Amino acid sequence: MSKEFWNERYTAHASVYGPLPNNFFKEQIDRLAAGKLLLPAEGEGRNAIYAAKQGWEVDAFDYSEAAKARALDFAAKEGLAIHYQTKVIGEGALPLEKYDAIALIYVHLPMPLRKQFHQQCMEALKPGGVLIMEAFCKEQINNQSGGPKDINMLYDLSEIFDDFQSMKILRGSKEDIFLEEGNFHIGLADVIRLVLQKEA
């Protein structure tokens, strides 16, 4: 979907995916010692704000200017500092070995951009760093709870394992869940959930 689509969506609604962090992200980030965290395609900042409250140093980006403005406004109201850029995935490299954790929460990309960006994420993790992912799998095409309507933008667990084959799998599953994330992620959903660790 285009930048214009997302700018319009974030401008037209008081909240798109709700104020609370993604449940899986919260569950996993709570297990880790606070450090440096990267959140690509972070939207209105719900995960960034939660992590900052837990003491994480947060870098986030999105290609929607409206999303960035919303996120920084929410953070300011909480008295929090997050470093948030307007940036397009695939344009420019990520810093090498900077992050203790990277979370990809509903970051859906076409292949080969997906493989290229996942490689960049691995390189951006410190040795021992953790990657957290929740995304819609291909079965989501039959649901009305959100996500891309192009099946090529939905993920297959084996393809994602292949993207991150140099990392240790701490968790990797396909799950049926009930989403309650604002007005645009609600209902039964088919997702993949991954926790991967870069070799120390």
Full set of structural domains in the chain with CATH: 3-197 (3.40.50.150)
Structure tokens at 171: 């968790």
Total residues belonging to the chain: 200
Structure confidence at residue 183 (pLDDT): 74
* DSSP state at residue 30: T
Structure confidence at residue 108 (pLDDT): 97
Distance CA 73, CA 77 (A): 6
Amino acid at 78: E
Phi-psi region of 51 (alpha: psi -120 to 50; beta: other; left: phi over 0): alpha
Structure confidence at residue 57 (pLDDT): 98
Per-10-residue mean pLDDT, the chain, length 200: 56 61 97 98 95 97 91 93 94 95 97 96 98 97 94 96 97 95 85 97
49-85 CB burial, b ≥16 within 10 A, e <16: bbbbeeebebbbbbbbebbbbbbbebbeeeebebebe
